[in-house]
Amino acid sequence: MPPKKLPKKKGKQLYICPICDDQIDDSTQQSIWCDGECATWLYRGCAGLSKAAHSKLNGTDTPFYCPHCSLVKQEREIELLKASLSDLAKKFDDQLNQGPKTSNPGVTPVPSWSPRIVKNPISST
């Protein structure tokens, strides 16, 4: 979503906050740039930032994502994780379908997670 712009006023580009649709006036209210897809200015309050959080972010290289772009970014990360999980599940199923392997023919391996049963326990009496 491209930033809403107003006509230039005395060589200065004017922007509209995409959340409240008010003109951005940094001289009266603090604003912040979204580094996400929308790439626009938002009022600090509309972006969900406290004054302290805004001050902390101001002047740093830390990227900021508006609420919309944060959700889009999270959705993409979730889709990537789902794809990775699906690949791992397929590899796991393939391993299970191959069955246990042993270097001793005729001996059935016991999975390490399987409980061990002793047939003839030694009695201490």
Q: Report the 10 Å Cβ neighbour count for 90.
A: 10
Q: Does residue 11 lie within any of the structural domains?
A: yes
Q: Does residue 120 lie within any of the structural domains?
A: no
Determine the structural domain holding residue 9 and report its residue range. 1-95
Structural contact between residues 67 and 48, judged by C-beta atoms closer than 8 angstroms: yes
- Give the model's confidence band at 5: pLDDT under 50 very low, under 70 low, under 90 confident, else very high: very low
Tell me the pLDDT tens digit for each residue of 101-117: 666 777 766 666 666 66
Separate counts of helices (H) and strands (E) for the chain: 2, 4
Q: What is the CATH number of the domain that holds 87?
A: 3.30.40.10
Q: Does residue 121 lie within any of the structural domains?
A: no
Q: Does residue 115 lie within any of the structural domains?
A: no
The residues pairing with 41 across neighbouring beta strands, listed in sequence order, are 33
Number of domains in the chain: 1
Q: Which two tokens stand for residue 118?
A: 């002793």
3-state secondary structure of 92: helix
Q: Does residue 116 lie within any of the structural domains?
A: no
